[in-house]
Amino acid sequence: MHALPPAPPPPPRRQVFVGTALAGAGVVTLVGGMLAVWILQRERALDAGSSWVPDGVTIPEVPSNVMLISIWGLCVFAQWAAWAARRDDRVHAGLALGLVGVVGAAIINAQAFVYSQMELPVADETGYGAMFYAVTGTMIALFVAGLVFTGVSAFRYLGGRVMDREIVAAHALFWYVLAAAFSAVWLIVYVTK
């Protein structure tokens, strides 16, 4: 039968990067949708004349601000890893990925500290507690996913696949998305209250 001639080997397609971008778009709509419902419920509570944050509950601002600063700092480390990987600098890439892991774990620790400081029950009768833990818990789950991504990137790149720079760049993109999502959570949940 007739057929088209074989093509040269396909050029690099940045498949991991594009897939990560799509997953990042999903993260944005996930967190955005949750914050939209948050704003709706808050508005309803205020319109009904009741307070949104339950009486006696104080949201600790210092650790939440530290989380915000940390996650953008983490993005710098993630970008450092991508920069180093592009230059085949495994030492710097490894150091940067390690720092991403440490700071990421610290952010989760800070979130746990916020929980312990607030002493907010999940089952409070206003429903605020359930919503607070739902949205911040979702962020924790996303941070954990980010850390898994960091681990996979480190194993793949540092394990010898030095040509696999794309995954390090995609890893940085994912953390940028998480930083943007957390910034929105910080503004609406921790600052606007």
Partner 1 sequence: MSTTDITDTAVTSAVPSDEAARAGGLGALATWFTTADSKVIGRNLIGTSLLALLATAVVGALLGAERIDGADSLIDADALPQLFTAYRVGLVYGVLVPLLLGIAVAVVPLQLGARSLAFPRVAAAGFWTWLGGLILTIVALADNGGPGGGNADMVDLYLAAQALMLIGLAAVAMCVATSVLTTRAPGMRMSRVPFFSWSALIASVGLVLALPVALGVVIYLYVDHHYARALFGGNTGVGSWTAFVLTQPATYLFALPAIGVFAEIVPVTFRKRMPLRPVVLTGLALVGVAALSIVTQQPLHELPWSGSGLSFDEFGTKFGDLLPYALFMLLPLLGAVIVLALGALAAKPEGTSPRLTPSFLFAFFGLGMILVGMVGGALLPITDLGLQGTVFEEAATVYVVYGGVLGALGGIAWWLPKWSGRVVPSGPAMGLALLGVLATILAALPYYIAGFADQPAATGTYDYEGPSALWNTLALVGHGLMALVVLGFAGLALRPARGRAATQGVGDDPWGGHTLEWLTTSPAPAVNFQEVPTVMSPEPVLDLHGPEGAER
Cα(61)–Cα(63) distance, integer angstroms: 6
Name which position in 62, 122, 144, 152 contacts partner 1 (CB under 8 A).
Answer: 122
What is the closest distance, in whole angstroms, from the C-beta atom of residue 136 to partner 1 in the complex? 11
What is the closest distance, in whole angstroms, from the C-beta atom of residue 43 to partner 1 in the complex? 12
What is the closest distance, in whole angstroms, from the C-beta atom of residue 125 to partner 1 in the complex? 6
Stretch that binds partner 1, among 74-82, 97-105, 120-128, 183-191 (CB under 8 A): 120-128
Q: Which stretches within 58-127 are classed as H helix? A: 61-86, 90-118
Q: Is 148 in the site for partner 1 (CB under 8 A)?
A: no
Q: Which is nearer to partner 1, 33 or 88 (CB)?
A: 33
* 119 backbone φψ class: left, alpha, beta (φ>0; ψ -120 to 50): left
Q: Is 65 in the site for partner 1 (CB under 8 A)?
A: no
- For partner 1, the binding residues in 18-57 under the rule CB under 8 A are 18-19, 22-23, 25-27, 29-34, 36-37, 41
- What are the backbone dihedrals phi and psi of residue 20, each rounded to the nearest 5 degrees, phi first? -65, -40
> Which is nearest to 90 in space by CA: 157, 142, 177?
157
> Which is nearest to 73 in space by CA: 186, 170, 179, 162?
179
